[in-house]
Structure formats: structure tokens, C-alpha cells
């Protein structure tokens, strides 16, 4: 009866988003946690060290809780509310407790080892063997060998870290919502493009529903600028009011660093708990623990790559900065002799316009979301032989903007599905973009009438929303982001692995998981692909070839600066988790500034508190792993080079190479080590050559 009353417990294929409310969370989680505790006890008492006696029942046991809690976590990201937060916080300790009981189960751990060392081992396929080995490793990293006070402390740390991560994320969201800049005078918006004026006027109107409606609000205001990326980023690029740029920039880099949304004390609290946790497991620091589950394997290997890239990008970034100073000087701008961080985006956009004769705003009208999706889906068909069809209305969604699609193979059979939530909603949706699992592919969890349960993905972006009758007109960067997240989705949806514990992105080392996403971004610089997804939203005109040529020429514009920025974040992340001692005098901000002294050409402000909003490492999965973006970028650039070598404009060769990519990188998922998967596709190990060539930094190498 409870399952009929509580939509989180309903035996439906997909979540019933139209029925779920925060009131359903606590009772649903309590029920599934109780079911899992009972099932775990039964499995421990009767476990057989065989695939059918251990892996299959454990997967079934974990899926029920994973589906319920995964839905709650998804809604926390896309439909946040005070009521949902309270329910999430109340339910989370139960989830962590039962999850730790499972990961620290000695009967299951001994069964995994017995399966690894027993007579069934030769009968297991490669995917099953890797799953067994990884479960042994993960149990050991989950504290299965700890006893007494050490285990109690380990478990207390896990619970506290989860609570702090949620608090950190909520503070970032709340701080973003809390700050705004209202503009009322024409001089205040000098230089701002029409797309930003339309959006800023709409945001002000939404905040003042009692105000009289105006047909020309975009022209006459008022306007509201927030720290949400679709507003703040173009404002910093285009505002001619330097003082206002400074206000927006300072608010951005000090976000979540002041009461009541202050993450400052959480930094050392989180870092200290991670260090203690690593020490309990016998590791020198958290980086050493984290890297045991990554391709790099040890911190020094990751640092070596970052140092190589730092050296190759630092000189180029210095030249980039001097170019901006020279342009400002030529324009007789007062900041020419005192260029500050809030000036960089503005002058970088002016220089791009001068060098390449186009701006992001000039491109926007060609990138209406429906056309971009059509082109993206056509690319997926060319590369991987799949057809993507709209399926809106087939399943409930959490917001009217959300779309639903089915992925079909060459025979017209549905093999996967995905939700797309494209637009920014800063009041209820966290920033950034991500792909997450809704349902994973699995033969063990298939219905009696199915051979395998089909995968379903969430694709979430925060791009510029439609304004009035004007569709969502995307920046080129937003197009790249959509391609990026779709690449993650492809690896989840086109997996060929039937074992749920290694299908899709499961069981993939973190520094390899960005390979498909970054690989897809390369197609944004392929003329037939990019021009094929463009149509001017008013005239229907395709992107002119001359404009594409300028986009391609600008690909390496400020590549040194962009790479150095990512290296700065990655080095800071490793420095905080490899050698830093929380609470010993030095602060995380001191660490950031020390790294910045080596990895920036324009030092951060003394009051910069970027770390307080660095959710990737403090509230996400990238702790001691932010280097993964650059590590995987090496892999992705080298993978795309295989298509270049085959001939990008040869449909037969592109399709053949695409099939190999689909059968290896996308198809094998976590069933094999990513180094072996890459070799299966490329025939060799990856090199940095293609990455440096694409970035225009080959000479620096």
C-alpha cells in the first residue's frame, strides 16, 4: 500500500516526477533502508562466493536504494527548495549508515576474495573479473578492515563529510541567489548586447511581479544582473562601466564567503576530515587515497603532467595578457597601465572582435537550441549509427522546460533514453552542467520480458533561456557545453556491458571519465558539423563559411590562458590534498595564492575567495582529482586525432572509426581498465601531441 501512496516507491520504470513532493522523501528512504538492511543481513548469512550467489543479489539489493536516493539527489540539483533540503538532510544519515554497512561487510568482502581466488575465477568474463577486483579494492578503501574505535571514527567522518558537502553546495546556491545588481540608467548598460538586456529585463521583471508590464523593458529597463553565468559572464565581457564590472567580479570571487552563507570554515573542516580518513586507511594523505582509484595511480604522476602543461602554457598566457594591455593602451583606456581581473574578460572580447571580426553575440542568432539539437543528433547518427527521437509526454518531468528523448539503433529498436534540462533557473537549480544516471543498463535488473534493463540519463545544462518569443540563443561556449554533456550521456547510454556494476560510466577511473565528453567538443570545430546545426532564428540562413573560418582561427585564441586556468585549479586541488595540514597556521587561501604565484600571470585579488565556491572539489567528486580534466583531455584529443587521420570528410572512414570508438570507449565502460580501452581503440598509449596541436601550443612543447 505504501508503494501506491508514495511515488518514490512506485514500481515504475522512471521516476514519477509529477507526483513526488518533499514529504515523500523521509518515509520512502526509511522504507528502502530498512529493506536493504534486512536484505543485507540475509545475504551475509547465505552468501555464496560465486557470481550468481554474490554479485547478482548484491546488485539487486543496492539498486532499490540507489533509484530512490538518486531521484532525491537529482531533484536537489534541479528543483531545490527549503522543504526538499530539510527532507534530504533528515534522510541522508540513514542512507550513509546502510551504505557503509554494505561497503564494510566482512562476509561480503571475504566472499569477493574467495571468488577472486576460487575455482570459479577462470569461468568469469573480463568484465566480471574487473568488477570482482574493484569490489575487493573498494571494500578495503571503505574501511572493511577497521575495528572498534577506528571503524566508529571512520563512519562518523563519512557521515560528517556528507553533511558538510551538502551544506557547502547549499551555501553556494543561496549566495548566488542572494546577490543582484539592479540597473536603471542607460549609461549603466552601455555596451551590453541585446540578448543580455532582454534576459536582464526578464530577470528584474520576475523579481518584481507587481510592477506594470512593459513591451520595451529590454530597451528601457530596469535590468537585473546576478551571479548566474548567463548574466554575469556576458556582463563582464561587454559592460563599458568598469566600476560595475568590478562590483560583479568581486561579488563572484567572494561568493559564499560571508555570513549567512559562509563556506570559509567548511574548507578546513572538510580537508581535515579527508586527511584523517586517509590516515585511518594507512595513506599519507587524501591524494594518495584518491589516486589509487585513478589512471594516474599516484600524485607525482598527476603533478608531472600538470607541470608539463603549466610550463607550456605560462609563457603563452603572459603573451595573452600583454596583448590585452596593448589593446587597452591603443584605446587610451585608463586601465591600460593597471589592468585588473575585472578588465580581462572585457578586453579579451574586444581583442577577439578585433582579431577575428566576430563576437559571441554575433553568433548567438545562429545557435537556436532546437537547431543545435538537430545537428547534434545528426552527428550521433553519423558517428555511432543511432537515431534520437523526441518522446515528450511519455514520462513525467520535473519542470516544463525538460525534454525527453529516446535513442534507437539501426533497426529502430530503443536502446536508451534521456532527459534534457537545458536552461538556467538560479532560484532552484545549481549552476554548471552535468550528466547523471537515472537508470543503469543491467541484465540482472531486467524485467521478465526484457533481456536487459535499458539505460536512462539526465543531461543538465544552465544555458541562456528563451525570452518572450525569442528562442534560447546559445553562445558558442554553451554549444560546446551541450556537446560535452552529451558525450557523457553517450557513454552511459551506448554501453554494451550487461553487468550493471560496470555498465555506462560505472567503475571507470575518474581521470578517464571525461574522455567521451571532451572528445565530442572537438566536433564543434568541424565545418560540416557546426554549420549543419546552425540556422539564423529570423532568416533561416546557415552560418556563413567566412564566419566559421573565423571561429576556427579563434580556436587557439587565449589557449595558453585557458589551459593555465585549469592547471591552476588542478594544482590547487592537489596541493590542498597532498601535503597541506589543516589548522596548522597556513590556510587554504594561502595554498591557493602560493599556487597562483606559479600558475597565473595576473595574481588573484588578496580578498579572492574562489575556494568557497569550488564545488567540484568540496561538494562534488573531484577532490584530489580535478587534474582529471587535463588528463582526460590528453586522451580525448588523441582519440579525435584518429578521426582526423582517417579523414574527417570521408563519411565511410568516419563511420568506421566511429564504430570502433563506440565499441571500445563508449561500449566497454568500466568493464576494462581505461588504458586498455584506449589501446583497443587507438592501438597505442595516448600522447600529448594532439592536445598541444589543437591548443596551438606545439611550439612551446
Residue 699 is predicted with a pLDDT of: 52
* pLDDT above 90 (res 48): yes
* Paired strand residues for 418: 405, 457
As a whole number of angstroms, the distance between CA 217 and CA 468 comes to 11
As a whole number of angstroms, the distance between CA 634 and CA 691 comes to 6
As a whole number of angstroms, the distance between CA 480 and CA 75 comes to 25
What cell does 627 get? 587534474
Task: Tell me the mean pLDDT in the region 105-134.
Answer: 96
Structure-model confidence comparison of residues 157 and 468, the more confident one: 157
Task: Tell me the mean pLDDT in the region 592-609.
Answer: 97
As a whole number of angstroms, the distance between CA 363 and CA 548 comes to 10
Short-list 628, 352, 387, 627, CA closest to 475:
352
Percent of the chain past pLDDT 70, that is, above it, reads 99
As a whole number of angstroms, the distance between CA 278 and CA 285 comes to 6
Short-list 681, 292, 649, 378, CA closest to 515:
681
Task: Tell me the mean pLDDT in the region 468-494.
Answer: 96
* pLDDT above 80 (res 698): no
Residue 426 is predicted with a pLDDT of: 85
Task: Tell me the mean pLDDT in the region 190-207.
Answer: 93
Q: pTM for this one?
A: 0.90
Enzyme catalytic residues: 485
Quick one: CA dihedral 232, 404, 636, 474, positive or negative?
negative
As a whole number of angstroms, the distance between CA 670 and CA 138 comes to 14
As a whole number of angstroms, the distance between CA 498 and CA 668 comes to 10
Task: Tell me the mean pLDDT in the region 117-144.
Answer: 96
As a whole number of angstroms, the distance between CA 655 and CA 561 comes to 35
* pLDDT above 60 (res 3): no
Q: What does pLDDT average to over the chain?
A: 95
Per the CB < 8 A criterion, the answer to whether 163 and 619 are in contact is: no
Task: Tell me the mean pLDDT in the region 547-575.
Answer: 95
* pLDDT above 50 (res 641): yes
From 176-180, 379-383, 428-432, the region with the lowest mean pLDDT: 428-432
As a whole number of angstroms, the distance between CA 60 and CA 569 comes to 39
Longest dimension (CA), the chain: 80
Task: Tell me the mean pLDDT in the region 152-180.
Answer: 96
What cell does 160 get? 560528517
Could you give the domains of the chain? 2-145 (1.20.1050.40), 179-253 (no CATH), 364-542 (1.10.1370.40)
What contacts 109, CB < 8 A, 6 or more positions away?
136, 139, 140, 144
What cell does 675 get? 588504458
| Residue 429, helix vs strand vs coil | coil
312 φ, ψ to 5°? -80, -20
Per the CB < 8 A criterion, the answer to whether 293 and 137 are in contact is: yes
| Residue 417, helix vs strand vs coil | strand
- At 588, is the pLDDT very low, low, confident or very high (cuts 50, 70, 90)? very high
Residue 211 is predicted with a pLDDT of: 86
* pLDDT above 80 (res 701): no
- At 4, is the pLDDT very low, low, confident or very high (cuts 50, 70, 90)? low
644-684 pLDDT, tens per residue? 999 999 999 999 999 999 999 999 999 999 999 999 999 99
* pLDDT above 50 (res 700): no
Task: Tell me the mean pLDDT in the region 284-299.
Answer: 94
What contacts 336, CB < 8 A, 6 or more positions away?
325, 328, 329
What cell does 91 get? 534522510
Residue 427 is predicted with a pLDDT of: 85
Structure-model confidence comparison of residues 427 and 457, the more confident one: 457
- At 619, is the pLDDT very low, low, confident or very high (cuts 50, 70, 90)? very high
As a whole number of angstroms, the distance between CA 612 and CA 648 comes to 43
142 φ, ψ to 5°? -95, 5
Q: Is 465 left (phi over 0), alpha (psi -120 to 50) or beta?
A: beta
What residue has cell string 543561496? Answer: 174
* pLDDT above 90 (res 325): yes
Amino acid at each position: 500500500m505504501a508503494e501506491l501512496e508514495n511515488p518514490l516507491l512506485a514500481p515504475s520504470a522512471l521516476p514519477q516526477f509529477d507526483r513526488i513532493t518533499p514529504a515523500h522523501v523521509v518515509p520512502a528512504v526509511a522504507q528502502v533502508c530498512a529493506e536493504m538492511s534486512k536484505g543485507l543481513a540475509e545475504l551475509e548469512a547465505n552468501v555464496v562466493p560465486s557470481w550468481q550467489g554474490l554479485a547478482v543479489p548484491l546488485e539487486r539489493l543496492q539498486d532499490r536504494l540507489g533509484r530512490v536516493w538518486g531521484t532525491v539527489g537529482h531533484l536537489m540539483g534541479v528543483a531545490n527548495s527549503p522543504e526538499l533540503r530539510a527532507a534530504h538532510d533528515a534522510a541522508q544519515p540513514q542512507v550513509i549508515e546502510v551504505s557503509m554497512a554494505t561497503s564494510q561487510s566482512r562476509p561480503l568482502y571475504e566472499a569477493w576474495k574467495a571468488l577472486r581466488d576460487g575455482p570459479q575465477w577462470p569461468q568469469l568474463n573480463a568484465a566480471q573479473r574487473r568488477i570482482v577486483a574493484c569490489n575487493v579494492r573498494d571494500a578495503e578503501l571503505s574501511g572493511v578492515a577497521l575495528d572498534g574505535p577506528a571503524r566508529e571514527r571512520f563512519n562518523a567522518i563519512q557521515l560528517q563529510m556528507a553533511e558538510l558537502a551538502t551544506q557547502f553546495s547549499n551555501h553556494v546556491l543561496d549566495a548566488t541567489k542572494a546577490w543582484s545588481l539592479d540597473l536603471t540608467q542607460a549609461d549603466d548598460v552601455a555596451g551590453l548586447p541585446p540578448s543580455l538586456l532582454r534576459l536582464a529585463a526578464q530577470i528584474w521583471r520576475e523579481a518584481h511581479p507587481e510592477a506594470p508590464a512593459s513591451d520595451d523593458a529590454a530597451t528601457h529597463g530596469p535590468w537585473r544582473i546576478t551571479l548566474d553565468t548567463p548574466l554575469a559572464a556576458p556582463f563582464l565581457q561587454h559592460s563599458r562601466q568598469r566600476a560595475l564590472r568590478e562590483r560583479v567580479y568581486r561579488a563572484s570571487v567572494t561568493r559564499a564567503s560571508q555570513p549567512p552563507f559562509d563556506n570559509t570554515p567548511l574548507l578546513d573542516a572538510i580537508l581535515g576530515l579527508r586527511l584523517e580518513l586517509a590516515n585511518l586507511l594507512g595513506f599519507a594523505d587524501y591524494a594518495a587515497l584518491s589516486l589509487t582509484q585513478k589512471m594516474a595511480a599516484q600524485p607525482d604522476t598527476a603533478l608531472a603532467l600538470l607541470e608539463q602543461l603549466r610550463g607550456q602554457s605560462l609563457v603563452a598566457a603572459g603573451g595573452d595578457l600583454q596583448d590585452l594591455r596593448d589593446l587597452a593602451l591603443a584605446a587610451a583606456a585608463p586601465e591600460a597601465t593597471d589592468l585588473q581581473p575585472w578588465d580581462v574578460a572585457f578586453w579579451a572580447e574586444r581583442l577577439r572582435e578585433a582579431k577575428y571580426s566576430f563576437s559571441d553575440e554575433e553568433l548567438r542568432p545562429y545557435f537556436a537550441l532546437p537547431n543545435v539539437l538537430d545537428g547534434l543528433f545528426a552527428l550521433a547518427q553519423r558517428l555511432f549509427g543511432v537515431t534520437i527521437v523526441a518522446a515528450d509526454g511519455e514520462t513525467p518531468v520535473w519542470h516544463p522546460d525538460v525534454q525527453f528523448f529516446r535513442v534507437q539503433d539501426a533497426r529502430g529498436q530503443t536502446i536508451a533514453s534521456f532527459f534534457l534540462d537545458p536552461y538556467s533557473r538560479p532560484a532552484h537549480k545549481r549552476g554548471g552542467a552535468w550528466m547523471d544516471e537515472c537508470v543503469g543498463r543491467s541484465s540482472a535488473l531486467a524485467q521478465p520480458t526484457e533481456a536487459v534493463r535499458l539505460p536512462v540519463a539526465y543531461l543538465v545544462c544552465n544555458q541562456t533561456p528563451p525570452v518572450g518569443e525569442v528562442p534560447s540563443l546559445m553562445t558558442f561556449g554553451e554549444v560546446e557545453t551541450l556537446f560535452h554533456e552529451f558525450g557523457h550521456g553517450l557513454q552511459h547510454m551506448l554501453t554494451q556491458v550487461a553487468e550493471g556494476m560496470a555498465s555506462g560510466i560505472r567503475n571507470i577511473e575518474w581521470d578517464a571519465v571525461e574522455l567521451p565528453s571532451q572528445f565530442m567538443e572537438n566536433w564543434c570545430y568541424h565545418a560540416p558539423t557546426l554549420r549543419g546545426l546552425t540556422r539564423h532564428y529570423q532568416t533561416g540562413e546557415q552560418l556563413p563559411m567566412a564566419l566559421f573560418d573565423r571561429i576556427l582561427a579563434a580556436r587557439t585564441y587565449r589557449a595558453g590562458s585557458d589551459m593555465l586556468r585549469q592547471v591552476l585549479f588542478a594544482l590547487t586541488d592537489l596541493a590542498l590534498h597532498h601535503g597541506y595540514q589543516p589548522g596548522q597556521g597556513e590556510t587554504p587561501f594561502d595554498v591557493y595564492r602560493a599556487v597562483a604565484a606559479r600558475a597565473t600571470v595576473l595574481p588573484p585579488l588578496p580578498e579572492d575567495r574562489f575556494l568557497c565556491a569550488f564545488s567540484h572539489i568540496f561538494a562534488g567528486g573531484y577532490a584530489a582529482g580535478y587534474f582529471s580534466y587535463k588528463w582526460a583531455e590528453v586522451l580525448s584529443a588523441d582519440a579525435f586525432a584518429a578521426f582526423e587521420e582517417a579523414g574527417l570528410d570521408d563519411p565511410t572512414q568516419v563511420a568506421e572509426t566511429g564504430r570502433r570508438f563506440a565499441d571500445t570507449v563508449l561500449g566497454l565502460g568500466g568493464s576494462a581498465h581505461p588504458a586498455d580501452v584506449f589501446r583497443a581503440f587507438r592501438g597505442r598509449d595516448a600522447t600529448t601531441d594532439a592536445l598541444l596541436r589543437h591548443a596551438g601550443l606545439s611550439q612551446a612543447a
